[in-house]
Structure 1
Amino acid sequence: MQPVSYRLESAWQPDGGPNGGFTFSLFNLSGRPLGGFRLVYTSLTRVVDPAACENAVFLRRNANFHEFSPPEGLTLQAGENWTFTVSGLHRQAKHCTDGAKSAYVTLSDGSHVPVAVSDLRLEGATSEPPPPRLPEGRLDLPFALQPWPAEVDAVPGEDFPVLLYPAAGSSAKEIGAVSDVLALFHRLFPAGHAPLSLAPSGQALPIFFVRNGELGGEAYRLAFSGRDIRLEYGAAAGRQYGLTTLAQLLDGARNHPGKFRFPASGTISDRPRYGWRGCHLDVSRQFYPTADVLRLIDILAWFKLNIFHWHLSDDEAWRLEIKAYPTLTTLGVLRGPDEPLLPQLGNGAEPAGGFYSQEDVKAIVARAASLSVEVVPEIDIPGHSTAALVALPELADGQEAPESYHSVQGYPNNALNPAVPLTYEFLEKVFDEMVELFTSRYIHIGGDEVANGSWLASPLARRLMEEEGISGTFALQSYFLKKVKRMLTARGRKLVGWNEVAHGGGVGTEDTLLMAWENPKVGIELAREGYDVVMTPGQAYYLDMAQAEAWQEPGASWAGTATPAHTYGYEAEGEFPEELKNRMKGVQACIWSEHFLSRSYFNRLVFPRLAAIAEAAWTPKAEKDWLRFAAIAPLSPTL
């Protein structure tokens, strides 16, 4: 580990300005004088009034990237520090993760040196520690099951078998299914005692498989006796879920015998509540190695989630290899002080990149398919396209004034222009490659957070709007997305998007699925307009939201706080009128990665709330029980 040469300490005062203020102190620990330098930090709490700083000169900002210089002539001797304040912030800080996420200094010779950063301190108020996330819990039935089944009529036993194995006469596919769930268990719990075996044993119980055409494809039924287990299933997914339930039951009974038991007799009859049981992962803000993506898919399968929504592009990076446009994964992924994309969200002096090759994608899709998980890819268009526009500057209208509009995250001119003909040629080629890589019937096209005012300074866009009789940003977005939908339809794919796809006239409702994220009422409005809907409101299902109001609780706060109890108890159907409930296709967790700078932060924010959403997606409302969930949730695997 390299010694720290410089450290940036930061504090926030609630009374430091309209939205409070930061105090930054840069400490020189290098043993050498520091002069003629500039300081860069990245922070989601952005500066919007450059003049509102003292003892520093504001130089520039790009989204979360901030650059300052000290007063002219300032030199820090070894052990000294430079302190400055910033009060022109766009919002208040509410949590310890709302300060600087990374920093570096640029020396007088142009080189860049890392600066260590500390979590944001709170001044002038009590810095409260996080409260416990789970109560001790209570079990009426001592079974270790996540999510809880639809119907449990089983009697706990006093002991448990050492193993479970496929009975003689099992088909090759049934034996293969046992092997797949056994492999899943080994990957998630490499030090655990395997609950399944392909070979018989005198200390084990056989599993008799029965294909039952009357069961739904994801449904299964287990019957327990002291001699064997009978597993009826509707299709391959139901067989996998039944085996996963058996693995969970036996693992819990073995590792926590005072708390959990294995059934001695009775039945478990199970089926999912919703057809769409999803989890989204943003890999643009932070890059996750292929091994991490594969492990997350394993966790989804363990929780009986069946959709992996892969957010592959955003302003910060384009992560999907497209052979027709190699610069997307060269210029479009590399963030650094001297790179086309500036550091953001925890990047520092060293360039940061990463993308998924087409071979990586094929491996991930294949793993997911083997576990009954459908990979739904997303490229976020027309907004959130800074990385694509940096990689392919010819996609911009060269006559458009720079910084004529800014996204809510602060990116200038970040939307693909619907009036540039090359935009559609680009998308046609991207979709051609995507349909070869992804077997899903869906492609997610984003469609969110296009800034009102986008394109209005583009002469090409103004001309198109005049020719088509279009007025305003969102009518032009609708024009663009209708063309995108036709591209997908021609390729046999259905359009999925965020709820703003409906703005400005939207797109055709047939074969369109929209995700309601801004608030729960949006989902009902979309259903009334005729759209099929997946509910993923930030107030309950965004796993980057802080889990408590306490200052020392990490996470975002724009949608409030989402305690595990709130996430578990939230009912997505909410106020849906009975006649619209058929439009609600399911629920989804969203993992946005702005705050996930470490594995520890990821696991703290994602678990146990991911398991809570899995239970909301699977378990009937009448069978949900918060205290039971709290007793079982600590068994969850983590990344």
Structure 2
Amino acid sequence: MTSALFVLENSWHPIAGDLTGGFTFTLHNLSDDAISSFTVAYTSLTRVTGQRQVTNARFVRRNANFHEFAAPEGFVLAPGASWTFMVDGLHRPAVHRTDGAKSAYVTLADGAHVACAVGDLMLEGRPSEPAPKLLPEGKVTEPYFLQPWPQTLALSEGGDAPVALYLAGGETREEILSVQTIQSLFQRLHSVAHVPFALSPVPGGRRLALAASPELRPSASRLEFTPDLVTLTYGDRAGLQYGLTSLAQLLHGARIDRDTFAFPAQGSIEDAPRYDWRGCHLDVSRQFFPVADVTRLIDILAWFKLNIFHWHLSDDEAWRLEIKAYPELTTVGATRGPDEILLPQLGNGAEPVSGFYSQEDVRAIVAHAGRLGVDVVPEIDIPGHSTATLAVLKELSDGQEAPDSYHSVQGYPNNALNPAIEETYDFVATVFDEMVELFPSPYIHIGGDEVANGSWLASPRARALMEREGLDGTFGLQSYFMKRVQELLSARGRKLAGWNEVAHGGGVAADGTLLMAWEKPEVGIELAREGYDVVMTPGQAYYLDMVQDTAWQEPGASWAGTVPPSHTYAYEAEGAFPEELRPRMKGVQACIWCEHFLNRDYFNHLVFPRLCAVAEAGWTPKANKDWLRFAALAPHAPKL
């Protein structure tokens, strides 16, 4: 039956006395055939609970965000007709149009799966507010296009911008390569713009002199402008590339908007980053990003002087990194579909979806990032968020443990690697052996987040380990696991990075360990008190999947609150850090979690301009930040 065409519409309705409300679904049969004995499956981050109440349908199953319902016994859906059913008993209320079904399909009586078109979640009972304008009209008090804004700036604007900046002569090969690196970066991000640099003299250009200086600290640069010459003095290769990026930005701005921006005639810029860790995370497990998109994002990070790419390569939904010792991880463990071990989640439906990065892909991406001064920090999320791993390596589960003895916050059953199974550490060690050959970063991020309280307590092997080692509950077991993982990393010359929950249950050795405070800002201070180095990445300000306004029609997640660009820009990550703890605060990081990013437009709408705001938080001194200037610059950001 190939002619079937279906549309699933959905709406959320409030229920008196029940804040979570319910869903109303209507399936439209636009095919030429009547159907019966069918089911409809959809994926939604707003999940039904065990207290569900279903009207005019039969509940079949749920797995995390996957839901399946059957039509009533004997029901026939005629061509051109529709079927409506209701589901009450949700785990939270829907508050935005993206909180409903993200994908759907119908399974016919013969077992064939047919895709459904799905629209936005509609709202019953109150107005559906349109999304507002997120940025005000920008205003610059100094007419220079620089983002992030530098430490100090004392410039006077000139007349026409030079045609290009050309090398004055006498440069080293390494300096010329750096110029070409930033030139190529500019051309990739601004493919129709005139290039900023030339290696030989050009009519209408201005000379550019390069000079290394041991007086400048790493990553620092000084730009000096005269009508005939620009001099870039730098502390190291990173400082050289950052200074060249500033020049490319200045020249680009003066060309794209002559009424607002100018190229300096005289003066100077002294610049260096505020923090050493200026990161951006990308989750490629929920949605797979092709290599070209990953390298494009790294280009954007370099343009905004971010220097860490945190690559989230595994989660419940998929394992994305080729491990030659376990090829099934990137076949079975990277594929979701109606007839696969991993069911559809978060936007995929009738057709199986898959994707992974070969080791050749990884080497190319790491090399690309390295040329731009971006360190790639890989993450394999353990012990929780391991549904995809456990689907492949069933020997890492305790067969005596009930299959639904605990559920993660995302609704996955029994999704954490068991610390009592010795083969678990053999698996982790083998993965690390391959990772250290691919990633030169001193850190490997091991996740450690969102292990459900109660995990493993129904496992006889875990309970025996608790008794033998004197461990207290889930988090005592987790700490035992993390300490052994830290030993595996140390033996391979790597340091442990993780989310803030790594510190639970006694944590790990703090010396050399880097933890990311995501749950709330106060967590970062407590981690620093315990001796951990900290990167601040609070969901309330730096999670770029969060919704940007309370309006129903504004897309995004909302569990951490509403995060408009103005809040991300104004947020001070150091916050209430006591002075004596500030050396532990290593920097800031944006996180791009991809449950909501079903297409490129969603990505760009949610990531920009807030990624630019985090870049400025990592680079620009607090006293130099200016919201209206940011609003004038941010719309010109390159996007994915």
- Pairwise same-fold verdict (TM > 0.5): yes
For the pair 1:49 / 2:20, whether they are aligned, the reply is no
Is contact 2:103–2:347 with CA below 8 Å preserved after alignment? yes
1:14 to partner: Cα distance: 2.1
* Structure 2 counterparts to residues 467-482 of structure 1, below 5 A: 467-482=468-483
Q: Which residue of 1 aligns with 2:275?
A: 274
Counterpart residue identity of residue 6, structure 1: F
Q: Which residue of 1 aligns with 2:293?
A: 292
Is contact 1:50–1:58 with CA below 8 Å preserved after alignment? no
* Structure 2 counterparts to residues 152-171 of structure 1, below 5 A: 152-171=153-172
Counterparts of 2:116 and 2:62 in 1: how far apart (Å)? Answer: 18
Q: Which residue of 1 aligns with 2:176?
A: 175
Counterpart residue identity of residue 13, structure 2: Q
1:223 to partner: Cα distance: 0.2
Counterpart residue identity of residue 213, structure 2: N
Counterparts of 1:528 and 1:161 in 2: how far apart (Å)? Answer: 52
1:203 to partner: Cα distance: 1.1
Q: Which residue of 1 aligns with 2:307?
A: 306
Is contact 2:4–2:114 with CA below 8 Å preserved after alignment? no
Q: Which residue of 2 aligns with 1:416?
A: 417
Counterpart residue identity of residue 170, structure 1: E
Counterparts of 1:3 and 1:68 in 2: how far apart (Å)? Answer: 22
Is contact 1:4–1:115 with CA below 8 Å preserved after alignment? no
Counterpart residue identity of residue 319, structure 1: R
Is contact 2:308–2:376 with CA below 8 Å preserved after alignment? yes
Partner secondary structure for residue 41 of structure 1: strand
* Structure 2 counterparts to residues 207-606 of structure 1, below 5 A: 207-606=208-607
1:436 to partner: Cα distance: 0.2
Q: Which residue of 2 aligns with 1:147?
A: 148
Counterparts of 1:297 and 1:247 in 2: how far apart (Å)? Answer: 17
Counterparts of 1:618 and 1:209 in 2: how far apart (Å)? Answer: 23
Is contact 1:221–1:269 with CA below 8 Å preserved after alignment? yes
Partner secondary structure for residue 244 of structure 2: helix
Is contact 1:223–1:265 with CA below 8 Å preserved after alignment? yes
For the pair 1:60 / 2:57, whether they are aligned, the reply is no
1:464 to partner: Cα distance: 0.8
Cα offsets for 1:160-218 (capped at 9, x unmatched):
10001221111111111110001001111111111112221121112101101111110
Cα offsets for 1:71-118 (capped at 9, x unmatched):
111111111100011111000001000000000000100110000000
Partner secondary structure for residue 197 of structure 2: coil
Is contact 1:166–1:178 with CA below 8 Å preserved after alignment? no
Coordinate RMSD, CA, aligned: 1.0
Partner secondary structure for residue 332 of structure 1: helix
Counterparts of 1:7 and 1:102 in 2: how far apart (Å)? Answer: 10
Counterpart residue identity of residue 136, structure 1: E
Counterparts of 2:35 and 2:221 in 1: how far apart (Å)? Answer: 68
Counterpart residue identity of residue 13, structure 1: H
Q: Which residue of 1 aligns with 2:23?
A: 22
1:471 to partner: Cα distance: 1.8
1:534 to partner: Cα distance: 0.3
Counterparts of 1:462 and 1:121 in 2: how far apart (Å)? Answer: 47
Partner secondary structure for residue 19 of structure 1: strand
Is contact 2:52–2:88 with CA below 8 Å preserved after alignment? no
Query: Which structure 2 segments of 5+ residues have no match?
Result: none
Counterparts of 1:435 and 1:486 in 2: how far apart (Å)? Answer: 14
1:49 to partner: Cα distance: 3.2
- Count matched residues: 638
Is contact 2:317–2:387 with CA below 8 Å preserved after alignment? yes
Counterparts of 2:248 and 2:442 in 1: how far apart (Å)? Answer: 31
Query: Which structure 1 segments of 5+ residues have no match?
Result: none
1:3 to partner: Cα distance: 8.6
Counterparts of 1:216 and 1:56 in 2: how far apart (Å)? Answer: 67
Counterparts of 1:413 and 1:609 in 2: how far apart (Å)? Answer: 35
Q: Which residue of 1 aligns with 2:8?
A: 8
Is contact 2:337–2:353 with CA below 8 Å preserved after alignment? yes
Give the structure-2-normalised TM-score. Answer: 0.99
Counterparts of 2:397 and 2:600 in 1: how far apart (Å)? Answer: 37
Partner secondary structure for residue 333 of structure 2: coil
Could you tell me the percent identity over the aligned residues?
A: 67
Q: Which runs of 4 or more aligned residues in structure 1 lie more than 6 Å from their structure 2 counterparts after TM superposition? A: none
Partner secondary structure for residue 206 of structure 1: strand
Counterparts of 2:76 and 2:255 in 1: how far apart (Å)? Answer: 64
Counterpart residue identity of residue 561, structure 1: T
1:50 to partner: Cα distance: 5.4
1:157 to partner: Cα distance: 1.2
Counterparts of 2:20 and 2:529 in 1: how far apart (Å)? Answer: 38
